[in-house]
Amino acid sequence: MTTGRRPGRFRAFGLRTRLMLAFLLVAAVSAGTTAALTFREARTALLETAQDTAVTSFRDHVQQTAFGLPMQGGEDLQSLLRDIARKGKPHPWVVFAEYGSVRASSGENPVSTVITPELRRAARANPHGSFERVVKDGVPYLTIAMPMVFKTSPDSVLPSGLVLYAVMRMSDEQVNVDALLMAGRDGALPGLAVALIPGLIAARSVLRPVRELSQAARSMGSGRLDTRIAVRGSDELADLARTFNESAGQLERTVRELREAEARARRFASDVSHELRTPLAGMLAVTEVLDEDADHLDADTARAVRLVSAETGKLAVLVEDLMEISRFDARAAELNADEIDVAETIRKTLHNRHWTETDGRVRTELPDGIRARLDPRRFDIVIANLVGNALRHGSAPVTVRLRTETRSPATPDLLITEVADDGPGIQPAVLPHIFDRFYKADAARTRSVGSGLGLAITLENVKLHGGTIHAGNLPGGGAVFTVEIPLHAEEAGG
């Protein structure tokens, strides 16, 4: 057994969750993009400031220092390099000199492990100097290459072969960059948390009319066609509410008109049936008298009298059936159940209609001892209509079977009655309509022997007992009607 969700119950992937996730996604993308762009600009500005300061300062100091060429190395060169290194900005430098095979530095090692071959090639190609940011063992460095040149004319220079390199740690800039990154991250997370508040407000404003629409639709589904939704604002949800109200109003008017038309049709059928009963009773009495004297009349008059008598009898059956079906429509039919012997009741029904086994038209399989709480009159109508229908539209012999069945401990025992014939069976296209009122299986047949209401009345009587009836075909041919009624009809039917 499945149960529906309550209106306010949380759904893992409901509309509220999807709205919140979408809002947080937009907020996260916006915050992340803003933080990334801000971090990139701040990092670039921070590094370029330190880089430009170091490159400009190193170029100025190199140009202001006089070197004697050719250079042999020694203490004089190392002293010059240390003097340049002491003037390093914005952080201390380690200065290296390369001249042919001569290597010297302001530090302990004459050769740097940070200077890359690419920077050396760039220094030889660019007389105005080059720089490069590298990371060595996790430590960031700025390396600057500045070649010494001879100026031969205002627009040309001649390399001297001496190249000075400055290596500067950028640990402070890296610390500042890391601080910027952490600040952006720590600022984005609270921003996302704060974004939940407008997200909840937005989700509430969207979900409230949707929830009202759901409740209104559920209310209309339960039969309250006067349900309406309050229209707020002029947005798309307000348009949806107005459309719902207009549709609900139109549906209410249509259903009211249909109910009034149905009520008028029921009253008409009931009134006509009641009005016809009295004149029909008189007509039946007259036709009985005429039938008795038909043998003393001439042939044409006798044939006309018998035709009038037969048609009057059919009309009387139709009127009784119309009155019976109108009682079901008005819910005025009552079940007067009593404990009866089912097999004996069926035998009595067949005997009263002169359907006996001696003429081979009806066969029975009725085990004795089956008792059930049924309405004898209505059960008699069920059996009579099914057997009569089988004899008219099927082929003899018609078999009536009776048995009981227990399907599960949780359900009541069933009384099962089957009426089968030996005819051609029911066409598949006819089966869904077999219990409809006045339904004709053959469209060319303008009249039928019965009233056209027999199976419809049978269905209503079975439902009044709390049972079901099914129509089908036997594997070997022939139609079969199966009636299933709880053995205790009052308990089943309520």
pLDDT, tens only, 320-354: 777 777 777 777 778 888 999 999 999 999 999 88
pLDDT, tens only, 62-91: 877 766 666 666 677 788 888 888 888 888
Identify the pLDDT of residue 5: 47
pLDDT, tens only, 139-172: 888 898 988 877 767 777 777 788 889 998 888 8
pLDDT range class, residue 469, cuts 50, 70, 90: very high
pLDDT, tens only, 191-238: 666 666 776 776 677 777 777 888 888 888 888 888 888 887 787 778
pLDDT, tens only, 30-67: 767 777 777 677 777 777 888 888 888 888 888 777 66
Question: Does residue 188 register a pLDDT over 70?
Answer: no
Q: Would the pTM of this model clear 0.75, i.e. be above it? A: no
More confident residue, 50 or 293: 50
Average pLDDT across the chain, whole number: 80
Question: Does residue 136 register a pLDDT over 80?
Answer: yes
pLDDT, tens only, 405-457: 988 887 788 999 999 999 888 988 888 889 988 776 655 444 455 567 889 88
The pairing of strands 398-405 and 362-365 is: parallel
Identify the pLDDT of residue 468: 94
Identify the pLDDT of residue 227: 86
